[in-house]
Each structure stands twice: as structure tokens, then as C-alpha cells.
Structure 1
């Protein structure tokens, strides 16, 4: 199994280690760059590749580097939280496909802020390993698992759970991947999808709006993330007041 690895975040480091420990070292590495990258240096250390086969940021889209990747005769490019739009020319490089590990139970919650929308919309949630396509998160599914959304889950707690589930999904699919003939299941239902700016549209709390207790709790849960800039808020005396929620289980 010949592959290039494209990733960021701790989950990508864990999965790259898993692959190497089983005797599958990447032929090339694609990592993030800029203010949003978090684990590029760690991934480079784990891969132990020469700089000639490490592509930072958008460098993998450069014509010369595309040709370099083509000459590696890759079976897969494995994407784990790799935050870049992949052009069709790169999607076509691996003979079997460009894979993506997505924190959602596809076809539900394609796109951004998946735990937030799972709470708001009450859609099934989980983790999915799938083939990438030009359309966002619409490629064939290799393997997926669902996770229960608890009533006291916030978007942040749910995200921590799904990160662990993503690793499980990948590990369970590994034998299928190394067979070079992985399962491919079409996404039949339309599901749901959100772009990044959709979350901003629901952040403001209208203090005059009539909501059920559940509707308000769900909104606060969905907007309690690890990012202060995603908090729900209300306006008072010309100021924005952020609101987040925490739960504590009480003795019966």
C-alpha cells in the first residue's frame, strides 16, 4: 500500500503513527502552514521523510509538486483533518482514491461545525471514512460509526468524543484499505450540509424571542465550543455578552 499522508491536529499524528507501526511509511507528507496549523512539526518528525517529499500549505497544488506526487505511483492520499480545498488534478493522483476522515455520520453534517449542527438539527452523528470528490463530503463511504448525542453534550464535549471515534473508524477500516479493494457505498440520501459562516447566523440570542427550554438549551449547547468567538450572545447596553453552558450531574 503506497500512500501520501495529508493532515493536521493530534488525531492525524495518532493515525500516522498507527500506519508506520504497522509497516506502512508514507511516500510523501502534506502539512498545514500559517496561523491555523497545529501539528505540522510533529507530523514531519513522525514521518521521518526528507524535505523533498514534504509539502507545506498550498505547495501541493504547485504544478511541479503535482508531477512529483504523480511519479510516486500512489494507491491513496489519506487526508486527516487537512484544511485545504483539494483540486481535481490532485484528487486524481492516487490510483484508488483520495480519502478523508470526516467528523460526521455522512450524509448528515457535511461541511463545517459538525457537532454544533448535530445538536441544533438533531441529525445522526458520528465519524466517516470516505473517498473525496469534487462535491463537498459526498464521496463513497468506506466505513462509519454512529455516536449517541447525550442531552448534556456541548459541541465541545461531542467533538472530543468524535475525535476518538474517528481513530476507531480508521483502525477498523485499515485491513480493508491495505487490501487495495476497500468497500465503497454510495451516499443515497441527501443529508445535510453547512458552510463555515452558517454558525454566525444563529449566534445571537433575541431576548424577546419565545423559545422552549429545550430550544434554548440546544442553542447554548451547540455554541459552547472551544472557540470563544463562536459563543452565543445577547446584546445589552451596547455590549455583546457571551453565553456558554456547563452541566454537572447531581446525586439523585
Structure 2
């Protein structure tokens, strides 16, 4: 019998693939499978891994799966928890002026509320867009996991319960943010924050409808020399 630490990996995005590949290349670790759909979760029950690791997985993991791994289920979240639980943390850090960062935490029955292993803050700038901040948050997730995985694997990590306060946003909130009301009044800074948060080429996010036509809006802000 192998002494390797057995893992089932959930999700896929750029950060998730980088963490997944790093684990696959690591001595003493055996990544049994990479799951991306809800239906594939049954393999966690079949394989009984020591850990489940999630990064970029888009489904809620049910309690009966969370209870299986002896070491627990870990998630990388591109938000500085308890701020920006849920969807699109990169956008809401800009719009709400909340701390940006990455969090490694244990998963529980709720969304992004489990005990925190570690957090890594990411600085922001008025020239940031949703895309540029997203890229730095992905880098922070990978760095955070690599830094703290050895202590988790050794059972030497310390955890902190999340405070009850914080912020949470659904995908619906993002969709509502994308629609610009031509009659809405707001401060210039607030408008620019909203537009740059939604700027994520090549995707069309912010839009306005005038005289039956839809127009998409991106912004580019440059610091003066």
C-alpha cells in the first residue's frame, strides 16, 4: 500500500490547473482524479481520499461528500474572506471597496464560510480592471496554496473561524451590475469603479441600451507619468 497522500481535485480555471499540476508533480502526493461536474462527485465516495482540494469548482459540495475525506475538504477562494464570499470577488472588491485577496479555507455546508487556514492580501489600484485584479488574485491563490500545503499535509496547520460579518454576492448581483441605467445618477468615481470592475476583455459585461440598441462599455485608466 502506498504512503502517498491521496487527493481528489475539484474544479478548473487557470489557478486551479496550476495548483492541480503542482500537486501532480509533488512527491508523496497521489491525485486520484480531477472532477469538474456535480455528477462526478460520486467518485469521492468510491475512492475515499484523504483530502479534497477545490479551486474554481462551480458547484456546492453536499455534506455527505464533505464528510468523507479524513483530512478535510479545502477550497481556494479568490477573495479575502469573510469579504466577497460567493461570485466574482474581483469585481466586488473594486465596486464595494473591500479588501482583495485570496483565502485557503476548509469547506463546510455553506458557501465560503468554513474555517480559514490562511489569507493573502492583494493590493489594488485605481487603474485596475476586473481582469487585471482577477489575474493577480489567481497568482495569490497559487502562492498561498504552495506555501501552506506542506503544513496541511503534515497536520500542523492552524485554523481560524470566520467572523460572522462580511459580504456575499450571487451571480445575479453581477448580472444586475452589468446593466447600466441611462437615467441613474451617481458620482463619477463610483461610475468609473463600476465600469473598470466590469472591464474583462474579451468578455462583454457592462452595457447600456439606448433607443432600442445595446452598447457595451469598457474603460482603460492609465496613471499619469
Aligned length: 221
Please state how far the C-alpha of 1:83 moved relative to its aligned partner: 1.8
1:136 matched residue in structure 2:
111
Determine which of 60, 80, 86 is the counterpart of 2:40: 60
Bigger fraction of residues in helix: 1
1:239 aligns with 2:217: no
Question: Residues 126-164 of structure 1: CA distance to partner in whole angstroms, max 9, x if unpaired?
Answer: 000000011100000011111111111111110011111
CA RMSD of aligned residues (A): 1.7
1:145 matched residue in structure 2:
120
2: CA distance between counterparts of 1:177 and 1:211? Answer: 46
2: CA distance between counterparts of 1:26 and 1:82? Answer: 20
TM-score, length-scaled by structure 1: 0.82
1:78 aligns with 2:82: no
Question: Residues 167-202 of structure 1: CA distance to partner in whole angstroms, max 9, x if unpaired?
Answer: 111111122112123221100242000111111222
Give structure 1 stretches of 5+ with no counterpart.
33-56
1:69 aligns with 2:47: yes
2: CA distance between counterparts of 1:27 and 1:247? Answer: 42
Q: Secondary structure at the match of 1:17?
A: helix
User: Which one is further off, 193-202 or 122-131?
Assistant: 193-202
2: CA distance between counterparts of 1:67 and 1:132? Answer: 17
Q: Secondary structure at the match of 1:153?
A: coil
Please state how far the C-alpha of 1:25 moved relative to its aligned partner: 3.3
Correspondences of 1:115-126 after superposition (within 5 Å): 115-126=90-101
Please state how far the C-alpha of 1:15 moved relative to its aligned partner: 1.5
1:4 matched residue in structure 2:
8
1:44 matched residue in structure 2:
none
2: CA distance between counterparts of 1:17 and 1:61? Answer: 20
CA contact (8 A) 2:15 2:138 kept: yes
Structure 1 runs (4+) greater than 4 angstroms displaced: none
Q: Secondary structure at the match of 2:180?
A: coil
